[in-house]
Chain A
Amino acid sequence: MILDIRNEDPMENSFLIRTENLVKTYPMGQGKIVALDHVSLSFKKGEFAGLVGPSGSGKTTLLNIIGSLDVPSQGSTLVLGKKIEDLSHKKASELRNNHIGFIFQTFNLLPVYTVFENVEFPLLLQRMTSSERKKKVMEALGWVHLADRTKSKPAQLSGGECQRVAIARAIVKMPEILLADEPTANLDAKNSHHILQTMEDINRELVTTFIFATHDEKVIQYLRRKILLVDGKVARDEVIENPNNKRTVP
């Protein structure tokens, strides 16, 4: 059964995501590491926000919890009206499949699938008809300008093209939330800007909420909200007016 969270109108207060006093610890030998330390944040629909900070500051951990890939040790996370810590594996899978898209640093494309099949995959899980799937896949590939590479395998694509396929795979199901973990870390400057411009376009056109985890300056230039995490705590949360003015595009 697919969750129909959209019909529940969870955004009475217009927040898509809300974390309250979020704590995440990992066991380490006899003691434990605190990855997130009482993090309270909210994200509205259509935000283009980034979790920034040095390695080990808790960016990916927070992204994973929001994406229902992990659960907090303490505190609560409300995503589209659902408490992440209360979701079963199955419900969490349904939430991810229907409402959350992921973009990874290493693209994580399925190597034996073609571009078309990779993008089609999330739709297969939604049991769509073949013609519907084809239409949506071609639309998504159109967004990332890869409609002519449907039959290529990931090994035949450049890094930039792979990440564009990953974006297409993430947006093909029209998710409310798109989580991108270091999406430009394996790309050169030119490709990074292409990718970011594409994401910005998608955000503007489809009103998809983007949350990045990054320490890449190129990505930070595009953010409209920058949340600085240091040692698992929110050190600064700022809204950036006119990020376009600060950009240096190659």
Chain B
Amino acid sequence: MIIPRLALRNLFGAGLRTWLNVAVLSFAFVAIIWTQGLIEGMNRQIMHDKIDAEYGGGQYWNEHYNPYDPLSLQDAHSKLQKVLQNMANKGQAAPVLILQGTIYPDGRITPVLLKGIDPSQSLLSLPSQFLDQNIEEIPALIGSRMAKNSGLNIGDVFTIQWRDSYGTFDALDARIMQIMNTPVASIDSGQIWIPLKRLQMMAQMEQEATLIVIDKTVMEKTHIPGWTFKTTDFLLSDIKSLVQTKTIGSSIVYVILLFLAMLAIFDTQVLSIFRRRKEMGTLMALGLPRFKVIQLFTLEGAMHGVLAAIIGAIYGIPLLIYFSSKGWAMPESIDSFGFALGKKLFPTYSAGLVIGTTILVLLVTTIVSYLPTRKIAKLKPTDALRGKFS
């Protein structure tokens, strides 16, 4: 136990030098856990929001429907099978009809997707109840992004043009009943939600839909001819790969932070070994074997990591708890991320993340502490006492 004791004594004896290193390292500790927790939290939040507002427990797609090909929409609709209609009647399914259209806010031509949804549905977290209006115009619901891009406000009346199932163009006025704030851009940007029955009538597609969102509680997904069931895993795959890209980006930050902290330790160790050659010679002259001098210096460096973990825990735990409960406010420009993000992100810190980061930092600290100390192995006590290397 002599070496840990001496290492600790040297560490505390070095005063400011030690505390500066510990401060840098503990900052890296907390920052790594915080950023990784933020990514983890963002990941969960995105999945959660997308499932709540768009995907539910999965979707049945019309066999011709391809979300990446707007031209497919013309043929991507068919009547609901009996089983689907029954589910819709029981509130276990929400049919959505999608059509291409054009709106003319302030005389500007803006292509949009017209989405019909049952105003009484409660399956998706969409304020569709605002569409349940008995007015002359078509009641319309849009998201805040769409409102911002088109300049539309609640109560505004604008013209919608569309083509029905026979290819005939028609147009009617619509009125904005509500502007919804949703973190999910894919149900907002370039989209206008109107009552399903109204859209079916407008398009001459009675009882038809493009896709049907299934409730999360429905476990059995039967095969229905003309419809393909898409699981939430499939629907979230794009988002997952996008998150993966962001994770790689954050991992680079992680590595840079770790590298900076390790550089501080490595630098301290190199400087220590350079400046403390005489001390090493003295230790050897006093009877400390060379391998124990190596152990001592390696442990001194590694203990920076242990101290940093303790200090990091003292200020980091309250800080991380605060952020995970109060959330981290996102700037307005966050929409440019291209996926659902709330106005606040709530970081999630798993035990694996905290323990993994701690072990990794301690391991890397020990390695970078050991690397420069290998030079001591070649050190002759007489040279060390004279303050030079062999």
Binding site for B on A (CB under 8 A): 64, 67, 69-70, 89-90, 93-94, 96-98, 102, 104, 106, 108, 110-113, 117, 121-122, 124-125, 127, 169
Contact = CB atoms under 8 A, between A and B. Distances in A.
B10 interface: yes
Contact of B286 (A70, A96, A112): A96
- 6 nearest A-B residue pairs (beta carbon): A97-B287, A112-B13, A93-B289, A108-B282, A96-B287, A69-B381
B2 A98 contact: no
A124 B382 CA distance: 23
Contact of B9 (A104, A106, A112): A112
A102 to B, nearest CB: 5
B319 interface: no
Interface string B1-18: 010011001101111000
A127 B292 CA distance: 15
Interface of B: 2, 5-6, 9-10, 12-15, 278-279, 281-291, 380-382, 385
B282 A70 contact: no
Given A70-B380, A108-B385, A102 B285 contact: yes
B170 to A, nearest CB: 87
Contacts, number: 67
A180 to B, nearest CB: 12
Contacts of A111: 13, 279
Contacts of A97: 286-288
A112 B14 contact: yes
A94 B287 contact: yes
Contacts of B10: 112
A93 B9 contact: no
Given A112-B9, A112-B14, A124-B5, A93 B287 contact: yes
Contacts of A96: 284-287
Contact of B6 (A67, A89, A124, A127): A124
Contact of B382 (A69, A117, A169): A69
Contact of A69 (B2, B14, B285): B285
Given A69-B382, A113-B9, A127-B2, A108 B281 contact: yes
B285 A110 contact: no
Nearest to B387: A106
A113 B5 contact: no
20 contacts: A64-B381, A69-B284, A69-B381, A69-B385, A89-B290, A90-B289, A93-B284, A93-B289, A93-B290, A94-B287, A96-B285, A96-B287, A97-B287, A108-B278, A110-B279, A110-B282, A112-B14, A121-B286, A122-B286, A124-B6
